[in-house]
Structure 1
Amino acid sequence: MTNKHGLPNWARAVIFFVTYNIFIAIFLVVFYKVTFDLVFSDRSGNNIFLIVEQAIKEPEYSYLLAIQLFITALLTIVFLIFFKAALDPEIKNLLNTVKALHIIHFLKGFAISSVVISLSVFILWIKGEIVFSEANWPTNNTLTFLIIYVCVASVEEIVYRGYILTELTKSMGKWLSILISSLVFSLLHIFNDSFSLIPLLNLFLGGVFLSIIYLRYKSIWLIIGLHFGWNFTQGVILGFNVSGFDSTGILSWENIGDQHWTGGHFGLEGSLITLILLILLTPISLRMTPAKNNSQATLTGY
């Protein structure tokens, strides 16, 4: 399938992926330089980008990460608008879907992922791999991490499921499209702290699960809710690291067991328990029945 420019849809997905990441990389260079000059100019060292990257992971400066991700989310919408004008007018459908905020779908996604990630913690606790230590209300960082996880979920789902996966499915089989987009999604985390094989598998299977749900229900807000609920619940509520990033949570746990089971510094996405749950979720997601009024919500051939 090609567009008015004679490009196959998979080529548009590749062009989008490359140009979008270059666009965001340029923004990050500017953001890090400005941030260093305004906030960290008194710190020693020549690699200002490394200094800012390390600093914004500290709880004291997490607000800078929230600002960075909020601007990234706005720039993603701007990029989609320009890409629509330059190469793909059909992006207007995705933009209209994003604009039509669907709270119910978002909350359903949040609830599903919260239950799954909480089940991982419950199993680890029953198994004796973790021990509960304390509970606190992190009033200083809750709003900051709320912004961070909403922006992360929105940007990643709009880009990797909303556009790239959709375009790939127009050029190749749905399963191949799911596998390619999920592999790209998981490899984007390769430079995160404590990244290893188990986190790679979990992120890949998580991408597969989100892709199946998106293609079945055609709801960008459902998978944004799933993604946000996964990160927010494990980070802010349960107090685990999220994909290698430190997070301040209401609950606190001590990892006393094997880090292959607990996830170690990477968090629950590095846990074998989470891997098992995600393996079980995939066939379950294939049996989920879309709403009857959604005529486009079936996966032919599954």
Structure 2
Amino acid sequence: MITRVLKSIGWSLLDLILFLILSAVILLILFGLLSLVGLHPFSSISIGNIDEQTSPYPMLLINYLPLLIAFVGASLLTHFKVFHRSYGALGYNMTKAGGLFGRGWLWSLIMVLPGFFILWGAHQLAMLPFSWHWGFVVGYLLFFLVQSAGEEVLTRAYLISMLETRLGTIVAIVLSGSLFAVLHIGNDHFTWIGFVNILLGGFIMALLFVEYRSIWVCTGYHAGWNFLQAGLLDFNVSGVDVYSLVQWKDIGYPRLTGSSFGYEGSLVAVLLQGVLLAYLLKNNSIELNNPFTNSNVQEVLPADNDYDTLISDEVKTES
């Protein structure tokens, strides 16, 4: 058993390295094409140096759209051409995509909107006049759709489906959610409450992916979570301040409002997401029964040929 797990970890690391290399190659090609028409990715504007006056369109078109294309392309090449996994493993199927995206968005609405009204009603926020700039509203909606989709392709579609076949569903969910949280540690105004919230969000989106076998539902949750906070309700999102339709002044307790890290730094969000996570864990209890084998998953996610060969050889050796 230990030998099998170690081999699984080794193949998973090789799989991840290949995915990252392919992503980098595709990204360099896309950046090269953009440079030919005078567009220079990451030359001046990035997620780390924007504010409420920054247009979302340059970042969307020059930085995050190429990143999404690179992740999707690398995941397809890795799954099909190298490890021969099924298309269903990635969750890219368009069947009911709109409905599943809407379901994820609705969950995010339930997580964010009540929290906003709780904080407002508790006099933690002082409302200011609205800031009407519909070009920015639409722009940040598109921006968070693309940015969230890219992160979901990496941490859910690719990572979960790759790890499940080798280490099981529970391990895949834990690693997916943990990596998602770790990726945000370097954000401005980082707090440990924020880390807990992002970790909870990572687990929630991983469970949504496992339950529906669709990238659309977790992208809906992620995009809704980011846009509702930042684009509509004036919270910073993971420490990043962008244009928002609603405007308010923080006059409350930092651990309730989240202060400069945003709603993700709020104990209110921890409570709401904790309840949702408990609900999803209860709904997925059958699928999560065994940490290393899951017959339902194996029907969708056939193990790759090289891994099967290694295990067969190991069994023969031991016998």
TM-score (norm 1): 0.80
Report whether the alignment pairs 1:53 with 2:27.
no
Query: Which 10-residue stretch deviates more, 209-218 or 98-107?
Result: 98-107
Residue of structure 2 equivalent to 1:261: 256
Residue of structure 2 equivalent to 1:62: 56
Q: Secondary structure at the match of 2:242?
A: coil
Report deviation, 1:79. 1.4
Summarize the alignment of residues 14-25 of structure 1 with structure 2, pairs less than 5 Å apart. 14-21=13-20, 24=23
Report deviation, 1:286. 2.5
Report whether the alignment pairs 1:229 with 2:224.
yes
- Counterpart CA distance in 2 for 1:148 and 1:196 is 25
Residue of structure 2 equivalent to 1:44: none
8 A Cα contact 1:235 1:241, kept in partner: yes
Could you list the per-position Cα deviations for residues 106-161 of structure 1 after superposition, in whole angstroms to 9, with x for gaps in the alignment?
A: 11111121121111111111222112112233213122212211112212222211
Quick one: structure 1 residues 146 and 21, their matched pair in 2 at CA, closer, same or farther if it must change by over 3 Å?
farther
Query: Which 10-residue stretch deviates more, 151-160 or 166-175?
Result: 166-175
8 A Cα contact 1:70 1:147, kept in partner: no
8 A Cα contact 1:215 1:298, kept in partner: no
Report deviation, 1:217. 2.3
Quick one: structure 1 residues 31 and 61, their matched pair in 2 at CA, closer, same or farther if it must change by over 3 Å?
farther
- Counterpart CA distance in 1 for 2:249 and 2:24 is 36
Quick one: structure 1 residues 188 and 123, their matched pair in 2 at CA, closer, same or farther if it must change by over 3 Å?
same
Match of 2:186, as an amino acid?
F
Quick one: structure 1 residues 50 and 255, their matched pair in 2 at CA, closer, same or farther if it must change by over 3 Å?
farther
TM-score (norm 2): 0.76
- Counterpart CA distance in 1 for 2:94 and 2:275 is 33
Q: Secondary structure at the match of 2:127?
A: strand
Summarize the alignment of residues 101-250 of structure 1 with structure 2, pairs less than 5 Å apart. 102-250=97-245
Quick one: structure 1 residues 86 and 92, their matched pair in 2 at CA, closer, same or farther if it must change by over 3 Å?
same
Structure 1 spans left out of the alignment, 5+ residues:
2-6, 41-47, 290-296
Could you list the per-position Cα deviations for residues 183-204 of structure 1 after superposition, in whole angstroms to 9, with x for gaps in the alignment?
A: 1111111221111211111111
Instruction: Name the Cα RMSD after superposition.
Output: 3.2
8 A Cα contact 1:29 1:49, kept in partner: no
8 A Cα contact 1:12 1:167, kept in partner: no
8 A Cα contact 2:140 2:231, kept in partner: yes
Q: Secondary structure at the match of 2:129?
A: strand
8 A Cα contact 1:57 1:65, kept in partner: no
Match of 1:285, as an amino acid?
L
Report whether the alignment pairs 1:270 with 2:269.
no
Summarize the alignment of residues 69-84 of structure 1 with structure 2, pairs less than 5 Å apart. 69-84=64-79
Aligned residue-pair number: 282
The alignment-based identity, stated in percent, is: 25
Structure 2 spans left out of the alignment, 5+ residues:
291-319
Match of 2:287, as an amino acid?
L
Report deviation, 1:21. 4.1
- Counterpart CA distance in 2 for 1:136 and 1:201 is 31
Could you list the per-position Cα deviations for residues 214-247 of structure 1 after superposition, in whole angstroms to 9, with x for gaps in the alignment?
A: 2122222111111111111111121211112222
Report deviation, 1:25. 5.7
Q: Secondary structure at the match of 2:247?
A: strand
- Counterpart CA distance in 2 for 1:108 and 1:76 is 24
Match of 1:57, as an amino acid?
I
Quick one: structure 1 residues 145 and 20, their matched pair in 2 at CA, closer, same or farther if it must change by over 3 Å?
farther
